[in-house]
Structure 1
Amino acid sequence: MDDEALIAKLKARDDDALLALVEAYGRLIRQVVWHQLLTAYARGFTDDVENRVYYKVWTRIDQFDQTKGSFRNWLSAIAKNQAIDYARGLAATFATLDLDSVTVAAPTAKQQDLEALFAVLSQLEQQVFRLYFIQTLTVEEIAKQLHLKRDAVYQHLSRGRKKLRQGGMNHADFN
């Protein structure tokens, strides 16, 4: 199906057109979204962002104007803006999160989410976070177990919190 036919079907609110849109442009939309969602944690929300893109296209197809650009570019702009908005929302969540009051329960089906969240931390920071937040050890117990000074444990917790608050930036950016 060419773009003109696809656009006409979308404007007619044909459900098959939405499936055709996903088949024709799904890969492009995912690439644009992933270009904006840089971390493994953020990319875990790819499906949510893509669904927002498809919803936006479905509700705003009447605003598409061929004289202003191609359908492909219009889709890319929507995908980019939705991904940026979602990433900002994630960053705002991290900025307001009080990590001192968080206690992570024992490993569950959400273990993958936790691993993705901790992926931005260095190996040592991950160990410290697991011991502190999951096993709820004291700073002194962590220092003894990892053969670190108490101040070093506090430093790793502080640096890790900073990385998480900044929305999962790559830990190489902080070393």
Structure 2
Amino acid sequence: MEKEIIELLINKDFLGLEKFIDLFGTDIVKCIRSILNHTDERTYHKEVENEVFYRIWQKISTYSEEKSSLKTWSLTITRNICLDKKRLIIRQQKMIPMEQLPESILEENYFEKEDFLDLLHHLTQEDQLIFLKYYYYQDTPNEIAEELNIDVSQVYNHLSRGRKKLKQLLI
């Protein structure tokens, strides 16, 4: 079934896109909703969903069956688009998440929002997501752990590791 979908998509046949959406659409929507989960982000769900399907339509020729399954490849694209959108939303709201860092020795207004987001690019995508949820959206570690399906101690580890890495970059 997947091979047929891939072949149709490569040949730019809309039937392939329809079959792809039937097979993976629910997983993609769940992924979008789990990352863009705050009230002010819900308005972007359809936009991101359309962007995901369009990007898959464009990039299907880069898919390699040896590297990952079609589902994993698609959900990776979805996650990346969602994280990009989340960063854009934060930039538009002109918030400064760094001011909430409890271990910060920096003055509150030292960083502009853009500087903070540039610093986040040095973290892994998972660390970026956890940082945004904790410092920007003020989610508790328990909420983050439940949402990402990881242990609470892992959330604390990601936050600690991220703070250390950002401090090293600033020194």
Q: TM-score range by the shorter chain?
A: 0.5 to 0.7
- Paired residue for 1:133? none
Q: Is 1:61 aligned to residue 60 of structure 2?
A: yes
* Residue type of the alignment partner of 2:93: F
Check 1:16–1:172 CA distance in 2 against 1; reply closer, same or farther (3 A cut): closer
Deviations 1:121-174 (CA, angstroms, capped at 9, x unpaired): xxxxxxxxxxxxxxxxxxxxxxxxxxxxxxxxxxxxxxxxxxxxx89x55666x
Check 1:58–1:91 CA distance in 2 against 1; reply closer, same or farther (3 A cut): same
- Paired residue for 2:87? 88
> Under a length normalisation based on structure 1, what TM-score does the superposition of the two structures give?
0.54
Check 1:84–1:172 CA distance in 2 against 1; reply closer, same or farther (3 A cut): closer
Check 1:8–1:40 CA distance in 2 against 1; reply closer, same or farther (3 A cut): same
- Paired residue for 1:36? 35
How many residues align? The count is 103
Aligned-partner SS, 1:35: helix
Check 1:172–1:14 CA distance in 2 against 1; reply closer, same or farther (3 A cut): closer
Deviations 1:71-93 (CA, angstroms, capped at 9, x unpaired): 01000100000100111110110
Q: C-alpha distance in 2, partners of 1:78/1:32?
A: 10
Q: C-alpha distance in 2, partners of 1:27/1:43?
A: 16
Give the number of the structure with larger relative contact order, counting CA–CA contacts within 8 Å between residues 6 or more apart: 1
- Paired residue for 1:126? none
Larger radius of gyration: 1
Q: C-alpha distance in 1, partners of 2:139/2:54?
A: 36
Q: C-alpha distance in 2, partners of 1:48/1:172?
A: 25
CA RMSD of aligned residues (A): 2.2
Q: Could you tell me the percent identity over the aligned residues?
A: 22
Q: C-alpha distance in 1, partners of 2:72/2:91?
A: 28
Q: C-alpha distance in 2, partners of 1:79/1:73?
A: 10
